[in-house]
Amino acid sequence: MTDRALAVVRAGALTTVQDGGRPGHAHLGVPRSGALDGPAARLVNRLVGNDDGAAVLETTLNGCVVRPRCAVVAAVGGAPCAVTVDGRPVAWGAAVRVPAGAVLGTGPAVRGVRSYVAFSGGIAVDPVLGSRSTDLLSGLGPAPLTDGAVLPLGEPCGPQARVDGALPWPAPPEELVLRTRLGPRDNWFTRRALGTLTGPGYRVSSASNRIGLRTDGPPLERAVAGELPSEGMVLGAVQVPSDGRPVVFLADHPTTGGYPVVGVVDGRDLAAAAQAVPGTPVRFTLVR
């Protein structure tokens, strides 16, 4: 019987299992989680013949190395990186065949932050609340990968995609433009602060993670002192903690919080936020 599994040779800085996440459980205090760059995760799944929501590996900055115990079709996308099979270069952004026992390596991101690795059949760890995603905030789902870990693979469910020519992979942003709707607590900030928010002074902080994209830049001036009772938080919320510097909530964000939310970022811009390297200029643009 074929051993449909893969062994982790090098886990990398932070590699997690991610799928479409577990939305709908915020009332239980459970974040949605899931792939930060959803379009990239869906595309690599299509390349290997999986459903869009199959579980993939999400790497951070320096890639990972795995050894499938069975022959698989794999695809690597998201942040561009070198891809090898037993040390030989293979295509990034395309389906490649990996023989049983061969070593599939993804190198450091050349641009961007997070690469996605799909395997035919998907990563088949046990789902929790309907998702196989690792949630770094609550601890639900499988733990981040460690060297020597073994992950089960599902059975292939369809033929790999046939693609002629280059795929339209979006480039990681040179400037991160976040369309933002003000509220619900924009009245807690001065008019000057709202001008500061939409100015050119912010950059992505190196303290950013799957919970939130943190910014370096000028603090936002408060018009109301004190803090709120804890209230519900949504994906893309721009929360302003005590240091005054905006934080954009990403997939593993807390479901409640007591700092005021000055606005909410359009969900279509969050994939770019997932790929913005520290130091990238950030511009919040207001929409109605």
Cα separation of 123 and 134, whole Å? 12
Q: For the chain, which residues make up each domain, given as ranges? A: 5-152, 176-286
Q: What is the mean pLDDT of residues 49-75?
A: 97
| pLDDT higher than threshold 60 for residue 6 | yes
Interior/surface letters 258-284, b for 16+ CB within 10 angstroms, e for the rest: ebbbbbbbeeebbbbbbbbbeebbbbb
Please tell me what DSSP assigns to residue 43. Answer: H
39: left (phi over 0), alpha (psi -120 to 50) or beta: alpha
Digit-coded pLDDT (tens) for 12-40? 999 999 999 999 999 999 999 999 999 99
Q: Report the chain's mean pLDDT, rounded to a whole number.
A: 95
Q: Which of 228, 217, 216, 215 is nearest to 187 (CA)?
A: 228
Please tell me what DSSP assigns to residue 187. Answer: G
| CATH class of the domain at 176-286 | mainly beta
Cα separation of 215 and 253, whole Å? 16
Helix (H, G, I), strand (E, B) or coil at 47: helix
Note whether 246 and 189 are within 8 A (CB): no
What is the 3 state secondary structure string of 130-161?
A: CECCCCCCCCCCCCCCCCCCEEEECCCCCCCC
Digit-coded pLDDT (tens) for 83-109? 999 999 999 999 999 999 999 999 999
Residue with the two structure tokens 């389906």: 95
pLDDT-above-70 percentage for the chain: 96
